[in-house]
Amino acid sequence: MRVDFYQLGAAPPEGIIATLAGKLLEDGQRLLIVAADDALLARLDRMLWDQGAASFLPHGLAGGADDAAQPVLLSTGTDAPNLARNMLIADGEWRDAALGYDRAFFLFDDPTLEAARLAWKLLSGREGVERNYWALDAGRWTKKA
């Protein structure tokens, strides 16, 4: 399983989330986006709707009748009724449930930097876990580790 750490710095999470979700959907994959804060999920929901007609990302908020049919599902929980094999943690709070997926995207910012460092260390040397660290460099995502 692969865990990609994305250090946002001052950048808002919406841009990278839309990019990652779009790439996964192009590959025919599904995604579960997780955050503990309902307000963050509501912002992400609006952002995914507002991508424009050419780049609309089909998605839904968990708890609806069509959860299983959603290619991208936003949730406070870590279960994927949409059968996603990819989890994106949008709030900088690591969840061990991510290790049950094929791939996890862990987004963190300056206030959650220490928690991200701890998660990086805890995953170090763990069998079957590949870690990657990405940071913004001159406006582009660059792999740092």
Q: How wide is the angle at C-alpha 45 spanned by C-alphas 141 and 32, nearest 5°?
A: 65
> Tens-of-pLDDT digits for all 145 residues of the chain?
999 999 998 788 888 898 899 999 999 999 999 999 999 999 998 888 775 555 678 899 999 899 999 999 999 999 999 999 999 999 999 999 999 999 999 999 999 999 999 999 999 989 999 999 999 888 888 999 8
Q: Of 71, 111, 104, whose CA–CA distance to 87 is shortest? A: 104
- Per-residue buried b or exposed e for 77-98, using 16+ beta carbons within 10 Å of the residue's own CB: eeebbbebebbbbbbbbbbebb
Q: Name the packing angle between helices 38-49 and 13-26 (round to 10°).
A: 60
Sequence-separated (6 or more) residues with CB below 8 Å from residue 10: 109, 110
Q: What is the structure's pLDDT at 15?
A: 83
pLDDT tens digits, 114-131: 999 999 999 998 999 999
The β-bridge relationship of strands 140-143 and 2-7 is unpaired
Q: What is the structure's pLDDT at 66?
A: 94
Helix (H, G, I), strand (E, B) or coil at 116: helix
The arrangement of secondary structure in 2-143, i.e. its CATH architecture, is 3-Layer(aba) Sandwich (3.40)
pLDDT tens digits, 7-16: 998 788 888 8
